[in-house]
Amino acid sequence: MKDVYILAIESSCDETSVSIVKNGKEDIATTINSQIDTHKLYGGVVPEVASRLHLENITLVIEETLNKANMSVSDMDAVACTYSPGLLGSLLVGLESAKTLSLVYDKPFIKVNHMMGHIVANNIDQTLEYPLISLIISGGHTDLIYMENENSFKYVGQTLDDAVGECYDKVARILNMPYPGGPNVEKLALKGKDSYSMPNILNDDSCNFSFSGIKSHVNNLVHNSRQRGEDIIKEDVACSFQNAVTNCLVNKTLLALKKYNVSNLSIAGGVASNSFIRKALTNMCNENGIKVFIPNKKYCTDNATMIGAAAYILYKNNQFSSLDVNASSHEELNFKEKE
Ligand code: KG4
Ligand code: ZN
């Protein structure tokens, strides 16, 4: 079969990213323009600012990527872009750019769900095996998904309130650390002990998650101590929080693997770059005879390579999109069957 080159665009949140991906696996060239330094000033992503920065950068990022690969859009077999979920204004910038390139260069257009991109990030340096359970842990999502094959998604569990990454960001803020908080909490936790008691996180027999309770608990713990003039040991708070969250992720993932009698697990999303969580999930898999797939850390947080990898699956299945497709802030994966 002839080689397939896809130009992929990702702009769902605060990263403007463009990638050229060969056969869904080979990262020919990727550029990521991160807006973190700007959003840091406000303690989190400001949607209006994000879309404006995407607009300023998108053409430059496309050009830079094509230059790195020494290729032109005419060398591509398709143009792909994230259309959902994400911030509407941000998504629109990538989507309209991709649709324009598709129209001008007469290339097929492929819309990609961001969450599918996160899962398929695992295909870049390895090859996913099915059936599998996928745990997606990001700033906006905490999902357990059963996949019978590369193109079928069944939601097994979801967070009932906050996403795990969002909770990390909030805990970082409570501990006076900048956005994005996840990596900072992870670093701090390394220096601490599990000395603070944390609430049980939705310790039931469902595969759902709930992180708002632990978030409020950390908030109350820190504020009440400050009001009483008592010192808190930040490192220990971070460590106790991370242990509790990780235990919950491990237990619920094991439950999903057992419920569906599946022996493959894939982990994805920004929080999957957390070494402590990676190790805990890997240990659980080793103890239970489960094969675990985890992306290289650089493909865990938002990037366009994962969108190109996912677009290749849709390309092979002739799942092209018309140019009247719109961005959607919250659309779940295709082929979803509710339990
Ligand atoms: O997947 P992602 O880049 O964007 C979304 O689609 O949401 O995930 C970003 C989230 C942020 O909440 C960030 O704090 C979290 O992933 N994150 C981490 C780590 N690195 C990024 N959380 C915990 N530990 C990390 N090392
Ligand atoms: Zn993401």
Q: What is the pLDDT of residue 331?
A: 86
Is 190 a residue whose pLDDT tops 70? yes
In angstroms, what is the span from residue 165 Cα to ligand 2's centroid? 10
What lines the ligand 1 site, CB under 6 Å?
Answer: 13, 138-140, 165-166, 168-169, 180-183, 186, 269-271, 273-274, 301-302
Average pLDDT over residues 83-103: 98
Residue nearest to atom 7 of ligand 1 (CA): 139
Per-residue confidence (pLDDT) for residue 335, from 0 to 100: 46
Closest CA to 83 of 314, 317, 298, 273: 314
Contacts of 167 (CB under 8 A, 6+ apart): 211, 212, 214, 215, 245
State the average pLDDT for the chain.
96
Q: Ligand 1 atom 1: the closest Cα is on which residue? A: 270
- Nearest Cα to Cα of residue 252 among 123, 149, 164, 140: 164
Would the pLDDT of 193 be above 60? yes
* Angle of CA points 125, 131, 137, to nearest 5°: 60
Sequence-separated (6 or more) residues with CB below 8 Å from residue 106: none
Which ranges of 70-161 would DSSP assign to H, the alpha helix? 88-105, 114-120
**Domain 5-120+299-316 belongs in CATH node 3.30.420.40:** yes
And the tokens for 11? 């702009």
How confident is the model over 243-275, as pLDDT tens digits?
999 999 999 999 999 999 999 999 999 999 999
Q: How far apart are CA 211 and CA 11, in angstroms?
A: 26
Average pLDDT over residues 193-220: 96
**Residues 283-287: what's their mean pLDDT?**
98
pLDDT (0 to 100) of residue 338? 34
From atom 3 of ligand 1, which residue's Cα is the shortest distance away? 301
The position carrying tokens 């598709």 is 102
Q: Which of 301, 302, 303 to mutate to test the pocket of ligand 1 (most atoms within 8 A of CB)?
A: 301
pLDDT higher than threshold 80 for residue 173: yes
Tell me if the domain spanning 127-294 has CATH number 3.30.420.40: yes
Beta bridge pairs of residue 267: 135
Nearest of 16, 92, 27 to residue 309 by alpha carbon: 27
Averaged over 155-172, what is the pLDDT? 97
Structure tokens at 213: 């309770």
- pLDDT > 80? residue 145: yes
* Dist. CA 135–CA 155, nearest whole Å: 10
What are the domain boundaries of the chain? 5-120+299-316, 127-294
Kindly give the number of the ligand 1 atom that is closest to the alpha carbon of 275.
26
| β 142-147/154-158 pair status | antiparallel
Q: What is the Cα–Cα distance from 95 to 91, expressed in whole angstroms?
A: 6
Q: What is the pLDDT of residues 289-338, one digit of tens each?
A: 999 999 999 999 999 999 999 999 999 999 999 999 999 999 888 643 33
| Spacing, Cα 237 to ligand 2 middle (Å) | 26
17-36: pLDDT as tens digits: 999 999 999 999 999 999 99
pLDDT band at 1 (very low <50, low <70, confident <90, very high): confident
Question: What pLDDT shows up at residue 334?
Answer: 66
In this chain, the answer to whether the domains covering 5-120+299-316 and 127-294 adopt an identical fold is: yes
Alpha carbon distance 276, 326 (integer Å): 38
pLDDT of 89 strictly over 80: yes
Please choose, from the candidates 28, 32, 11, the residue with its C-alpha nearest in 3D space to the C-alpha of residue 20.
28
Asked whether the predicted pLDDT for residue 160 surpasses 80, the reply is yes
